[in-house]
Structure 1
Amino acid sequence: MASTLPPTHLPTWDLQFFYSSFDSAEHLAARQDLEAQLTVLEAQLDQEGIDGGDALPADATQAHRARSLVDRLNHLMTNMTPMRAYAYGRLTTDAGDEEAQAAIGYLTKQGIRASKIETRFTAWLGRFDVAQLVAHDAVLQDHAFALHKRATEAKHQMTMAEEALAADLGETGGSAWSRLYGNFSSQIEVVVNGDSMPMSAVRNLAYDSDPNVRKAGYEAELAAWSRNEIPIAAAINAIKGETLLLAKRRGWGHPLEYVLFDNHMDRASLDAMMSAAQKSFPDWRRYLRAKAKALGHEGGLPWYDMFAPLGEERSYEYAEAERFVEDMFRRYSDKMGDLARTSYDERWTDAGSKRGKRDGAFCMGAGQGKSRILMNFKPAFGSVATLAHELGHAYHNQCLATRHPLQRDTPMPLAETASIFCETIIKRAALQETEGAAKVAILEASLQGACQVVVDITSRYRFEESLFAGRAERDLSPRELCDAMRAAQDSTYGDGLSCGHPYMWAVKPHYYSYGAYYNFPYMFGLLFALGLYDVYTQDPDAFRDRYDDLLASTGMFDAATLAQRFGIDIRDEAFWQRSLGVLVEDIDEFEQLVTNG
């Protein structure tokens, strides 16, 4: 298929799909409509006594009220989606965009109003036997999981006055610190060999073919984080302090307890997965030492060579990456291939690096089953895999398009399953089609990513455990944060590394998002996706429709229930070990290839 882009062009995403500007008539009308919807909902709550209190009969009258609120909340969320997408689309590609900053501030204020409405609705649901309530109405039955979840949350609410105060303070508390981190870190300038460049560009030097460039970038990056550690440490302390305080006041024993509930998981599933991961660490250290040897190091791998290319890695121009991903997706199904093609034709992706642009990659829903993807593309297979990963999220958004917003509330573990399943499709296809040094390059890129998800994610999880333990007593200094990160990396990477990265707590934006433990869901996604991929290979035709139905249902059932549809028990460590076994086989092959090469 002919490329839609010149060979060296990196696309910018189309935000005109939403609005032409913040001052456009359409955007101003959307603001007015949003405020009107919030006012109507607030009045309805007051008029109908939608609040916490004593138990109420789950009769038809109350079901009618619940149905009205569900409909209005769904409508509100639908209308907020394009406003958020436009504002975040502008701000994440230009941290200095003052109009976007103002729009985010406005949406934060309106979001607080919406949060208060949802809090009262949740408290009200806690007064009913939800099973009896939903029996009166088909739409409520379709929303049963979301309503049951809210009724459980009601048991963990503070008083309504306290919840309202927490929502108000959020704007100048954790949310403000999160915005500070995002704006501040994206504008850090780093000097490498006399050249000044943004942090995102410096971190991309880790993938350079020149070892001197990689090491220089690593050293300059650490120095830059050290110079800027004080405000970043203040941000992480403030955010985690707020998380701890609210968890305690709401009756959750620990933030992890709430995170598991919110992610539709239980502790048995998490423990089974983490135990299996721990047992695989010797194999991952074997991979790291094999890579170190191939790069000429004795012993473990230095951090700055973690992402060094191996083998005869071919360079991928962006248009080639588009073609490859679409072709591999189409081998799975025309529906998935068409999704990729639509994303290219409609310019869903912003791919280049520039000053003020957020590092990393993400996919956000744009409404109507469409998405927007941000990435920082580099001409290597790793970025091809990233494109596939983010398009996996977009495919998931497409599958969810038939659901109402309250039914789409997908937890991270299941959201990451969809993206990593698509990554797996292209990686397995690429490995089958190559051999020799070219295969080493692709296999190593695949293992590199999997090592991040299994080993590095565990280090981040352990760091966050120690962060919460320390923050429960007092603020932690930058030195203490670095020490905790070193300890977490030592306990996971072990002798696979010769030196680590003590400032990963400053690098990863996930620590600065509201909530906690934005890490282990990625491992769940990888290993669950590998388990699903195994089911797919056994009977592809029977799998596809069932998989789409699973993706369309990720906000309507818990993870264990959805897994059981495919005969998978996520509370059984053996399942996770089988998925990890696929990766260990890749490690064996990699070790053999680099040794014989």
Structure 2
Amino acid sequence: MTTTQKLPNWDMTVIYPGLQAPEFEQGFAAGIREIDELAALFDQYQVAERPALVVDDALAQVFEAVLARYNEVLERSETLFTYINCFVDTNSEDTLAQAKLSELMNAYVRLSQLGTRFTAWIGSLDVEALLAKSEQARQHAHLLRRAQIQARHLMSPAEEMLASELNVSSGLAWSRLHGNLTSQLKVTLELEGETKEYPMSTVRNMSYSPDREVRRRAHEAELAAWKSVSVPLAASLNSIKNETNVLADKRGWSSALEATLFLNSIDQQTLDAMLEAARESFPDMRRYLKAKARALGLEKLSWYDLNAPISKSEKNWSYEAASRFIVEQFGSFSERLADLARSAFNENWIDAGPRPGKVDGAYCAGLRRGESRILANYSPSYESMSTLAHELGHAYHNLNMRERTALQSGSPMTLAETASIFCETIIRNAALKDANKQEQMAILSSSLQSSFMVVVDITSRFLFEQGVFEKRKQRELSVDELNNLMLDSQRQTYGDGLDEAVLHPYMWAVKGHYYSSDFPYYNYPYMFGLLFGLGLYARYQQDPEAFKQGYDELLSSTGIANATELAARFGIDIRSKDFWRSSLAIVRQDIERLEELVDTL
């Protein structure tokens, strides 16, 4: 891969030299073959839904053999998927990568079917008797007990097999369409008398420009571009939500929300407590927007002002400067965390710069045990540095999972943000420490914008998605209906903090989080992650050494215990609204500090 704007691209040659290399072809064929061999093993031992089985020593041995092989295949499949997907996400026009990903997805159908069979098999067993006979079972106790519950929500074997086969040309296909369309979307924009086409990711980055006219033009051009592809994206969204509704109903869930609460390892009481505390905080959050408007000399912010810098920072947040700062500040917590960041920068784990064909946003994906790959669209700003720190937090989480099996590493989304928010907070506090008042204002504004989006905008997304799921039970929604539902959700949450005439009706088209049939309600876990992470950071500040002793183990355990149990290790009750209020109080303190700086300067 070549570099763009002198920013590094990730190195994938540690797995294979390239997609056209013989080593890749051999590895790809081996990965497909291993899935077929696992299927044969499942057939041999009749791993599927069966009448209640007596758990004796022989069955315990069969379980351990199946479990070990299943974990091995899952781990190797993840590496193969991440390897290929990294080529697709950095160049969606790479036809070979797209073809290989499509072929792998067909194999993943079989792997998904085997996962369903494994869950059904566990549902046929006396799990407590199995735990008494097998050490390997005891190490996977959390997974097995959850599998028993999940087994009660399976359709018949034939229906589950059909659903997984159709998913390739339904849910997954619609999701890929969204990814391909949005990554290849070009935006026609006139700036300084010159009209050019830009990648969507570049245009969206213009929302950080200090020039309001640039932001306005970029916003209007962006909306026009989304409108041009709104029909196929609406078809994608309608199809995915209908598929999710149908399958949730057929599997005996009361709603898609109930199903996702189970996936995210929390209950309705926890979600309600968090969302109610968030709504209570909206007046404070709108104070932030009004303070930002005063700083920009505006009567009220428009949507395109949300990311505008309110103060010029003298700091040079180039990629190189950000890399050095992150490593240094991570070291203030632990040398292990700093070493992780050094590895990521020195060994080219990061694909940093925006370019045509590359997907927007940022993410971290596990490549192999303890090693990750990070996609970013870096611009020289504090915001981009903060995003890097966030994604490196995910990589640190993956590092702490290194000794876990593939099945033990399946963290729910709610807990997947724990390390990323913690690392983001380390960087924010360090940047504030030595900053002058102008720089403090810039950093606080950026940090609060992130918190605002996670608390307020995530609530708007939740309301929007809830509305789509309900309305989709009756019929498809038109582009205009989706736009209106999005605008209504934004008005309910942003309130008088924004100019209601300049919102973002196509945010449903922007966010890939809506386009997953496997993970409905993909948005609210980010709010959980932010507020849980802030709560953990507060515990760290109270007693740093005691916190450090349990933190890595907490990250290592997110796939083997539920959120309530893990939070209790640090004295946190996530079912209590008071905990969520205490985390939001940290955000409120930052708002008050920003207001003081704005009114002073």
| TM-score, length of structure 1 as denominator length | 0.97
In the alignment, structure 1 residue 577 sits paired with structure 2 residue 578: no
Identity %: 47
- Taking the aligned partners of 2:65 and 2:463, their CA distance within structure 1 comes to 44
Instruction: Give the aligned partner of residue 551 of structure 1.
Output: 555
Q: Work out which of the residue numbers 124, 142, 154 in structure 2 matches 1:145.
A: 142
What does residue range 410-559 of structure 1 map to in structure 2 within 5 Å? 410-498=411-499, 499-514=502-517, 515-559=519-563
Instruction: Give the aligned partner of residue 287 of structure 2.
Output: 286
SS at structure 1 position matched to 2:133: coil
Structure 2 residue ranges without an equivalent (≥5): none
Could you list the runs of 4 or more consecutive aligned residues of structure 1 that deviate by over 4 angstroms after TM superposition? none
Q: Which amino acid aligns with 1:126?
A: G
Instruction: Give the aligned partner of residue 347 of structure 2.
Output: 346
Q: Work out which of the residue numbers 587, 591, 595 in structure 2 matches 1:591.
A: 595
Query: Contact conserved, 1:407 with 1:555, CA < 8 A, in 2?
Result: yes
Instruction: Give the aligned partner of residue 3 of structure 1.
Output: none
Instruction: Give the aligned partner of residue 185 of structure 1.
Output: 182
Q: How much has 1:36 moved relative to structure 2?
A: 2.7
SS at structure 1 position matched to 2:417: helix
Query: Contact conserved, 2:369 with 2:401, CA < 8 A, in 1?
Result: no
SS at structure 2 position matched to 1:377: coil
- Taking the aligned partners of 1:397 and 1:173, their CA distance within structure 2 comes to 30
Q: Which amino acid aligns with 1:297?
A: L
Query: Contact conserved, 1:421 with 1:533, CA < 8 A, in 2?
Result: yes
- Taking the aligned partners of 2:113 and 2:162, their CA distance within structure 1 comes to 9
Q: Which amino acid aligns with 1:584?
A: R
Q: Which amino acid aligns with 2:278?
A: A
Q: Work out which of the residue numbers 118, 141, 145 in structure 2 matches 1:121.
A: 118
Query: Contact conserved, 1:8 with 1:317, CA < 8 A, in 2?
Result: no
- Taking the aligned partners of 1:508 and 1:474, their CA distance within structure 2 comes to 22
SS at structure 2 position matched to 1:99: helix
Q: Which moved more, 1:530-539 or 1:356-365?
A: 530-539
1:22-77 CA distance string (max 9 Å, x none): 23232222223223322222222223222113211222222222111110111001
Instruction: Give the aligned partner of residue 319 of structure 1.
Output: 320
1:234-286 CA distance string (max 9 Å, x none): 01111111111110110011011111101111111111110100000000011
SS at structure 2 position matched to 1:402: coil
SS at structure 1 position matched to 2:236: helix
Instruction: Give the aligned partner of residue 59 of structure 1.
Output: 56
Instruction: Give the aligned partner of residue 16 of structure 2.
Output: 19
Query: Contact conserved, 1:94 with 1:355, CA < 8 A, in 2?
Result: yes
1:348-403 CA distance string (max 9 Å, x none): 00010110000000000011200000000011100000000000000000000010
SS at structure 2 position matched to 1:401: coil
What does residue range 265-414 of structure 1 map to in structure 2 within 5 Å? 265-298=266-299, 300-313=300-313, 314-414=315-415
Q: Which moved more, 1:24-33 or 1:339-348?
A: 24-33
- Taking the aligned partners of 1:124 and 1:280, their CA distance within structure 2 comes to 46
- Taking the aligned partners of 2:470 and 2:174, their CA distance within structure 1 comes to 20
In the alignment, structure 1 residue 79 sits paired with structure 2 residue 82: no
What does residue range 218-229 of structure 1 map to in structure 2 within 5 Å? 218-229=219-230
SS at structure 1 position matched to 2:364: strand
1:457-487 CA distance string (max 9 Å, x none): 1110110000101111111001000000011
1:438-473 CA distance string (max 9 Å, x none): 110011010011001100011101100001011111
1:402-460 CA distance string (max 9 Å, x none): 10000000011111111111001110121222231111001101001100110001110
Aligned length: 591
Q: How much has 1:9 moved relative to structure 2?
A: 2.5
Instruction: Give the aligned partner of residue 31 of structure 1.
Output: 28
Q: Work out which of the residue numbers 103, 106, 111 in structure 1 matches 2:108.
A: 111
- Taking the aligned partners of 1:36 and 1:192, their CA distance within structure 2 comes to 49
In the alignment, structure 1 residue 241 sits paired with structure 2 residue 242: yes
- Taking the aligned partners of 1:109 and 1:8, their CA distance within structure 2 comes to 36
Q: How much has 1:321 moved relative to structure 2?
A: 0.7
Query: Contact conserved, 1:30 with 1:79, CA < 8 A, in 2?
Result: no
SS at structure 2 position matched to 1:309: coil
Q: How much has 1:8 moved relative to structure 2?
A: 6.7
SS at structure 2 position matched to 1:52: coil
- Taking the aligned partners of 1:91 and 1:269, their CA distance within structure 2 comes to 37
Q: Which amino acid aligns with 1:190?
A: V
Q: Which amino acid aligns with 1:172?
A: S
Query: Contact conserved, 1:316 with 1:380, CA < 8 A, in 2?
Result: yes
Q: Which moved more, 1:228-237 or 1:18-27?
A: 18-27
Query: Contact conserved, 2:5 with 2:353, CA < 8 A, in 1?
Result: no
Q: Which amino acid aligns with 1:278?
A: R
Q: Which amino acid aligns with 2:105?
A: T
Structure 1 residue ranges without an equivalent (≥5): 1-5
SS at structure 2 position matched to 1:65: helix
Query: Contact conserved, 1:325 with 1:388, CA < 8 A, in 2?
Result: yes
- Taking the aligned partners of 1:111 and 1:546, their CA distance within structure 2 comes to 36
1:177-217 CA distance string (max 9 Å, x none): 11111101111111111111011111011001111100000
| TM-score, length of structure 2 as denominator length | 0.97
